[in-house]
């Protein structure tokens, strides 16, 4: 009986964790080919809420993002990547950093919907749901 109760509690804890997700910041993302090149979209999230977004050419991802220390490096310096409410966009050699409101992870378009975009800025605008002034 004691084993059954313990097992039930363990199962409930696992199900609750899977349902509500981790409370720590996690990184997620994807990369894909689009009309004029390859793109990487990475974001930080707690549960399903997205706080920071990074949109760069896939070939530049390792140069500008250190996932181990959660740092993005732009021409203006190094910035913590986690819960700052920023989108970091590198289109060609031009960086744009904009403030964003937290997003729902489910609202980020699927890469198939982004593949028809002409440039990284257009991809970023679709991901964050608003225009980016350059």
Task: Compute the distance between CA of residue 26 and CA of residue 28 in angstroms, rounded to an integer.
Answer: 7
> 16: pLDDT confidence band, cut at 50, 70 and 90?
very low
Average pLDDT of the chain is 88
Task: Compute the distance between CA of residue 83 and CA of residue 111 in angstroms, rounded to an integer.
Answer: 23
Question: What pLDDT digit, counting tens, does each position of 36-82 carry?
Answer: 999 999 999 999 999 999 999 999 999 999 999 999 999 999 999 99
Q: Within 13 Å and on the Cβ side, how many CA atoms surround 83?
A: 8
Give 128's contacts (C-beta < 8 A, 6+ positions apart): 53, 87, 98, 100, 103
> 1: pLDDT confidence band, cut at 50, 70 and 90?
low
Q: Is 48 left (phi over 0), alpha (psi -120 to 50) or beta?
A: alpha
**DSSP class of residue 85?**
-
Phi, psi of 7 (to 5 degrees): -65, -40
Report pTM. 0.82
Question: What pLDDT digit, counting tens, does each position of 84-120 carry?
Answer: 999 999 999 999 999 999 999 999 999 999 999 999 9
Let me know how long the chain is.
Answer: 134
Rounded to an integer, the average pLDDT of 24-30 is 96
How high is the pLDDT of residue 29?
97
Q: 47 is written with which tokens?
A: 């549960």
């Amino acid at each position: 009986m004691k084993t059954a109760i313990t097992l039930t509690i363990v199962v409930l804890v696992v199900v609750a964790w899977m349902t509500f997700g981790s409370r720590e910041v996690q990184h997620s993302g994807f990369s894909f080919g689009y009309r004029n090149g390859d793109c990487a979209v990475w974001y930080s999230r707690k549960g399903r809420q997205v706080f920071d977004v990074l949109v760069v050419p896939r070939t530049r991802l390792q140069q500008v993002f250190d996932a181990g220390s959660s740092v993005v490096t732009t021409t203006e310096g190094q910035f913590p990547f986690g819960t700052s409410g920023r989108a970091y966009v590198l289109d060609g050699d031009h960086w744009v950093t904009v403030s964003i409101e937290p997003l729902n992870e489910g609202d980020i378009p699927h890469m198939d919907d982004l593949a028809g975009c002409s440039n990284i800025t257009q991809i970023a605008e679709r991901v964050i749901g608003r225009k980016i002034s350059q």
